[in-house]
Amino acid sequence: MSEPGAVEPNTSEPGAGAEAPAEVAAEARHRPVLVVDYGAQYAQLIARRVREADAYSEVVPASMPLEQMLAKDPAAVILSGGPASVYAEGAPPADPALFEAGVPVLGICYGFQAMADALGGDVARTGLREYGGTLVELAEGGSTILHGQPSSQNVWMSHGDAVRSAPEGFRVTASSPGAPVAAFEDDERRLYGVQWHPEVAHSTFGQKVLENFLRRGAAVPADWTTGNVIAEQVERVRAQVGGDRVVCGLSGGVDSAVAAALVQRAVGDQLTCVFVDHGLLRAGEAEQVERDFVEATGVDLVVVDAVEAFMAALAGVTDPEAKRKAIGAEFIRAFEGAARELVAGAADDAGGEVRFLVQGTLYPDVVESGGGTGAAVIKSHHNVGGLPDDLAFELVEPLRALFKDEVRAVGAELGLPEAIVWRQPFPGPGLGIRIVGEVTRERLETLRAADAIVREELTAAGLDRSIWQCPVVLLADVRSVGVQGDGRSYGHPVVLRPVSSEDAMTADWTRLPHDLLARISTRVTNEVDGVNRVVLDVTSKPPGTIEWE
């Protein structure tokens, strides 16, 4: 998604896909481009690339029956890659009826092979595997999806099988040493396919391939823009809320701030924001919520001091999921207490019933929490899986269909301060899940001090926007021997987790300059009592998640 007339580059690498909520496309009023997930590492990335081309996309599982896919009235369908071989037992097939439905289809890698197999082409293991950067040669005679590209180009391959002959009616438009049919197309039926991964940055003209498919092959309009999203969500929120009152929890992060600003744009003073001071934020963040957000929006803000209640709820709790559930439940209890006061006030001034709770749920939250057919629960999100069954509010989730960079674009368009719009992602449960072990006041202060140093040094180095986030983790149940002040110490390690990503579905660890790491280590061990070791987490996602808990 971009500002009208602009396309913003993006290098996200999302992970496993899930079915998007059925109501998302209807609410957005855009015919979706469906990305059919065949178990690909990059299914979410394809969806992101489609949105970069200003078209709305949803990810659906390959197990979804064709009639359900077509019921979504897709503008186009993209078949993702996947780890299977089309001729192997149990391999997910492509329904041949899809290619007769009149919907433009693009097959990528496994999706390309599944399309070829379903339509009578020849797919086999040739013995010439191609992994990584590969040179492909375009055929003469022009091409719809390869239009405007050089005859030789570097692409990213990942296959052991290959299409040896194209189905009847298709024209071969590219080849490589290991794939005699590396791309084909049938313009009459608007069916296209490539063996390589155009969605990854290593495919030099990959985004052009996708844009050619969307514009030239499928005639999908470029109407997924920031302005349109704001207008549509404002209309949707007004229709959902009517004349009733809305409460929104400000967590200190960009998601809740943008969700609140968007809802306020829709319903004005029907919205009251509640900031629950649970004692789990980083240094200075509580003050920033109370000062900067209110100043920027003029929103009605209620502050609830719930530190004692949260500390009591977390006493003795060490299991990560139990922490998330405890924090989520306590968060809602604090809301309910504030809401009871709002209800009483609404009754006095006849201002409507307090029925709705705004949440900054994003699309990756829905996916990671198992929000759809075929999605595994990686961890319950505070915005999705951590809510109690007896929730007393109806949810308003204006960001549910968006990725993080889209949320930032919406926030900037709504006029929120840069300090809020570009704040690094921060988990709803706060520092409670960045302490491995029991959460105590002393441990929170230790982690807050170490985190403040890391953020200060990253800002001084000009790296705030070039990394996705840098969680600082306190291994509270681990101690290591050190030497401090000419004597033996027995302190805790602190873990730095700098990562590069764009929407958190996949991530790689960020290669920070060595001199910066040295400064951080020296300052943390010198200035933070009880910490005598700083270590660097160099694990990608997958296999590791970004947060440790």
| Residues identified as active-site | 109, 197, 199
Helices within 53-162 (DSSP H only): 66-71, 110-118
For 275, the 3-state DSSP assignment is: strand
For 286, the 3-state DSSP assignment is: helix
DSSP β-bridge partners for residue 395 = 357
Name the token pair of 354: 């307090």
What's the DSSP call for residue 96? G
Residue that the structure tokens 């996916």 belong to: 367
Q: How many Cβ atoms are within 10 Å of 14's Cβ, its own excluded?
A: 27
Whole-Å CA distances, 257 to 251, 416, 417, 427: 8, 8, 10, 14
- Give the angle subtended at the CA of 221 by the CAs of 217 and 225, to the nearest 5°: 135
Compute the CA torsion angle 121, 125, 130, 135 (nearest 10 deg): -40
Q: At what angle do helices 404-413 and 226-241 cross, to 10 degrees?
A: 80
> Of the candidates 497, 493, 466, 462, which has an alpha carbon nearest to the alpha carbon of residue 480?
493
In sign, the C-alpha dihedral spanning 495, 496, 499, 505 is positive
What's the DSSP call for residue 518? H
Q: Map 304-326 to HEC letters.
A: EECHHHHHHHHCCCCCHHHHHHH
What's the DSSP call for residue 20? P
**Separation between Cα atoms, residue 201 and residue 224, nearest integer Å:** 22
Cβ atoms of 8 and 51 within 8 Å: the answer is no
Residue that the structure tokens 């155009």 belong to: 198
**Separation between Cα atoms, residue 47 and residue 58, nearest integer Å:** 7
- Exposure letters 57-72 (e unless 16+ CB within 10 A, then b): bbbbbbebeeeebbeb
Q: How many Cβ atoms are within 10 Å of 446's Cβ, its own excluded?
A: 21
For 179, the 3-state DSSP assignment is: strand
Q: Where are the beta strands (DSSP E) in 217-259?
A: 245-249
Residue that the structure tokens 């309910």 belong to: 336
Residue that the structure tokens 């990810």 belong to: 59
Give the containing element (helix H, strand E) for 343.
helix 320-349
